[in-house]
Amino acid sequence: MEETPRFTTRRRMLQAGSLAAAASLGAASQARAQDKIAPEMVMYQTTPKDGNKCSACQHFQPPNACALVSGTISPNGWCGVFAPKA
């Protein structure tokens, strides 16, 4: 059964709230690698989304790490706390 647009919007709002909370948690604890956010918590994927990718994110740490998300991060990846470089 298809979701109604209203439900989809509400679900997206809830997801956005969860991502914001996860981002705050990650920002507060980014000094230690074990305190980073797990990739699955921020919907990390190894491919770009809507033209955005890790190499263009202010949290990306070349060649393959992230200040907020744990594990190996692809320059072509993306996650829900993507923040474009200024």
CB of 69 to ligand SF4, least distance (A): 4
CB of 10 to ligand SF4, least distance (A): 24
CB of 1 to ligand SF4, least distance (A): 32
Strand-pairing partners, residue 84, are: 57
**CA 57 – CA 63 distance, rounded (Å):** 13
Strand-pairing partners, residue 30, are: none
Residues interacting with ligand SF4, by CB under 6 A? 44, 54, 57, 59-60, 66, 68-69, 73, 77-79, 81-82
